[in-house]
Structure 1
């Protein structure tokens, strides 16, 4: 266990990837601060040995207080896992922009602000690790998910820029890009307001996307449990030189490489075949 990786602060631990990562890192012996908007949802992680804090990545006072609590005890946050996020789905034409702004506040601006808050302490310590939880959807885009993909494309760009900016201070930046992961994500995107409009000219496309998503998340071959992402997060934390990117699931690796190698023509043909 690299001593420079303790303590670990993780956002969005009430369920899914954040919860699995906090649990695994505690079991591996790390000092973990598991956070959520409602800290009462973290009782089992507290019982397992995690420190729990209230943290809402859309609230400046909440973010500042959480980082200060860790720094008051340990001097600095050694590892930040920017995990908090969610998806809003629907056609570009139909999704309300207020919903899009709220999603950007969590997925992009919350991640950015948490990063800003921990960096001074990391620079002073001469070491640190920031792990951003992105998505294969930050490198490929599917219909009806355009705004969600936009948030994850933003995380890709920010991670690349940040890596170049802070490397000389001894700070590493790693980007984890999961494919389909069996969490509450599918339920969240399928319940998005713009997805359920039967009078929409996109209704048939939306129904097809929902069907394809359900098949992917139900498949043992195409999807994985949150523990698969937690394993990759632990791998990055324990590495003295973390990789810049970690694609999680064979689905993610296959689609990202198909997009990269095939270009627009091949990718558009894949999308047409999948969603026609």
Structure 2
């Protein structure tokens, strides 16, 4: 049965591959990113793409209107959008921290608040974190803002699963290891890893559709490297 699935951060990398994979599986996808052009150019059946910034209240209002007028319900929300700044801690400004947290935790929380009322009891909110946000993991230097924000995503997921355990939906978080994406190349030019965006997107897509049958409030480490 076709599901209604929202994917944030869909203009490139894992998000763009998620849109392709979920559409191939026959689901209806709403692709959200600050640049909807890459998704629109694919001209895929069953996909709607909206220019969307997690930090803007007016964009959340537009999203709310779309769901009310076109879908009525949302089965899966994949919180994939992220902001990353690679700088030594001593050089990170207050604005750097605000930019990263505004997208990675405040924006994520805001869209999740909006979508929950449209979700059935067996709906699934799947957030994408990082191995850098996992306590006890080896850390990449330079990612103080990014990795700490991703740690907050893990804790928020655990809290929401407890808060909504009677009414649903389910909440899980995947802590990803390094994936060969544009974001990785921008942060660490020349750094090469074995996992492609498509490979990781395939895993995330499958988990978004079935993982909540087995997990709720859980963080799963998805990494074949340390860090």
Superposed pair shares fold, TM > 0.5: yes
Matched, 1:230 2:225: no
Q: CA deviation at 1:37?
A: 1.2
Deviations 1:139-195 (A, max 9, x none): 1333221111111011011011111111211311121111110111123324xxxxx
CA contact (8 A) 1:24 1:234 kept: yes
CA contact (8 A) 2:78 2:208 kept: no
Structure with a larger share of its residues in helix:
1
Helix, strand or coil at the partner of 1:235: helix
CA root-mean-square deviation: 1.9
| 1:106-185 alignment runs, 5 A limit | 106-122=103-119, 125-139=120-134, 140=137, 141-185=139-183
CA contact (8 A) 1:67 1:77 kept: no
Q: Specify the alignment match of 1:96 in structure 2.
A: 93
Alignment partners' CA distance in 1, 2:36 and 2:140 = 34
Deviations 1:209-236 (A, max 9, x none): x7xxx4xx4143xxx0111221222222
Matched, 1:64 2:32: no
Alignment partners' CA distance in 1, 2:96 and 2:186 = 13
Task: Give aligned pairs, total.
Answer: 221
Q: CA deviation at 1:48?
A: 5.0
Note the residue ranges of structure 2 that are not aligned, 5 or more in a row.
Answer: none
TM-score (norm 1): 0.74
Helix, strand or coil at the partner of 2:44: helix
Note the residue ranges of structure 1 that are not aligned, 5 or more in a row.
Answer: 191-209, 256-276
TM-score (norm 2): 0.89
Q: Specify the alignment match of 1:10 in structure 2.
A: 7
Matched, 1:87 2:84: yes
> Quick check: which has more Rg, 1 or 2?
1
